[in-house]
Structure 1
Amino acid sequence: MKRLTAAITGLILVAGAGVASAHGIWIAERWGEHGLVYGHGAEDGSYDPAKISSVKLIDEDGNELAGSITAHGDHAVLEKADDAAIALIDFDNGFYTKDANGKWHNRPKSEFPNAETAGRYIKHTISILHLHGDMPAIAPQDLQIIPLSNPTALEAGSSLKLRVLYKGDPLPGILIIPDYVNMPEQNGATTDEKGMVEVVVRNNGLNVIAAKHSVDLVDDKDADLVQHFATLSFVAGGEHSH
């Protein structure tokens, strides 16, 4: 049993950075509430709600509304007004460091002499809760996937144009994952020089589109890179979009 426990612990530590980089966040309905999901593909993982660093809500006209996150142990739900149309949430998953012995830790590189490598992993989502007209203006996030039309008005098989922005600027050369929940390893098209890309809406129901972007850090004591992972989530398909 001790050997088995040690083996499992080792696998968890080795997988640490992979888990940190592969996971995204998005809003999905859970038991009549709007839960913040932290997952990879169909996985719905536990997390520390304290890692949620920013919550913004807007109505269908782009006006900012009051909103908050309520923690429930190892997950959280969104508290919102009925007229909240879109949620923008940021989630700081912290630092993951590979020490001199090859083990991963959810702590900064500065705490480990001769550490091999380290990264900081930040998640972002634009989650469309409901939308009946055109897309309103969206407040900037470090990385975001902006739909150029209202995706909740579409059906599965429809084309949807997107723009990927990094700190407000178009980001070329970024691979899009069109169906992150059902096919998280399948990449789609790549953004052009204007950060534009066209995807096919995969589902009548929940769609989660994803992209990631890493930035190398120079002379940073805590990490060698920052990786941003962004999602756009919405429900498509007739009556499900209301």
Structure 2
Amino acid sequence: MATAAGFLFNANAAIAHDVWLTLRGEAGNRRVVINYGHPDDRPPAIADKVLDVVAIKSDGQTSLLEGLRAKQEQGIFVVETRTFADNGHVLLAARYDNGYWVKLPSGLYRNATRRLAPEAVETLWSSKFAKAITGVGSPWQTEVGHDVEIIPLSDPAAIKAGESLKVRVQFHGQPLPDGAVERGDGVTALPEKDIPKFGTNADGVATIPIVKPGPHLLVIDHRVAPSATPDQANSDLYTATLWFSVSGESTEIRH
């Protein structure tokens, strides 16, 4: 049975980067932005690695995969979708194949397989899953079937600063206990030791305090060994994100 494994790669290597979704443009002419990296480390997102990106509404879903384009803004390379009509009640979901990674004897990391680097001292396969909510009343409770998925237990866009949001983390459709959900905003860079983390219980549920308005990015990593492709990797790394924005209204902070 696969179990969570220690992670032997440097945390700053690209394999540990996140993929998250944000928005650009007016509601009737909106684009999904596919971001890659960390706030202080932004390698280019690559359109060909995006397996799917969909806009989910209460009456169905639309694929936004066709027409992806690279976009540079202030030195950061992201991927944008074609425009779509955002009624403010949309759940966005995407999958990103980060591929195989090897650590060479020199200590360098390369996005390659053991087949081309038989001398590699460590190998890993990495996949990324991302969701975002465009506003109150989106189908936030929808389970999209990602390998690792953060599922809110109430509407994230309706929560206010001072309240807490409960989320359930699933791995292959089952609750993921003993995980650590990170809370950030996708913009502010923090030292690893200062990133707030909240554990999942036996039911895969974590309680996330919401302390301020504005954008929020929840992230969870799940590492598994042996890899599902042991001929090419020692372990697999799954990463899921959930992005949403909290209104400027607030309630009394709960202790």
The TM-score, its normalising length taken from structure 1, stands at 0.82
Q: 1:41 to 1:104 in 2, by over 3 A?
A: same
Question: For residues 136 and 246 of structure 2, what CA distance do their matches in structure 1 show?
Answer: 11
Q: Which residue of 2 aligns with 1:22?
A: 16
The letter for the 2-side match of 1:204 is: P
Aligned pairs (5 A) from 1:132-151 = 132=137, 135-151=140-156
Q: Give yes or no for the alignment of 1:75 onto 2:78.
A: yes
% of aligned pairs identical? 25
Once superposed, what is the RMSD of the aligned Cα atoms?
2.5
Higher relative helix content: 1
The TM-score, its normalising length taken from structure 2, stands at 0.78
Q: Give yes or no for the alignment of 1:66 onto 2:63.
A: yes
* Residue deviations 1:14-57 (CA, integer Å, cap 9, x gap): x9773323311112234654311112135544222111112222
Whether contact under 8 Å (2:102, 2:114) holds in the other structure is yes
Q: Give yes or no for the alignment of 1:179 onto 2:173.
A: no
Question: For residues 226 and 62 of structure 1, what CA distance do their matches in structure 2 show?
Answer: 35
Q: 1:62 to 1:98 in 2, by over 3 A?
A: farther
- Contiguous gaps of at least 5 residues in structure 2: 1-8, 72-76, 250-255
Question: For residues 184 and 213 of structure 1, what CA distance do their matches in structure 2 show?
Answer: 20
Q: Which residue of 1 aligns with 2:6?
A: none
SS where residue 197 of structure 2 aligns? Answer: coil
Q: Give yes or no for the alignment of 1:99 onto 2:96.
A: no
Q: Give yes or no for the alignment of 1:227 onto 2:246.
A: no
Report the CA distance between 1:220 and its aligned residue.
1.5
Q: 1:99 to 1:172 in 2, by over 3 A?
A: same
Say how many residue pairs are matched.
224
- Contiguous gaps of at least 5 residues in structure 1: 1-14
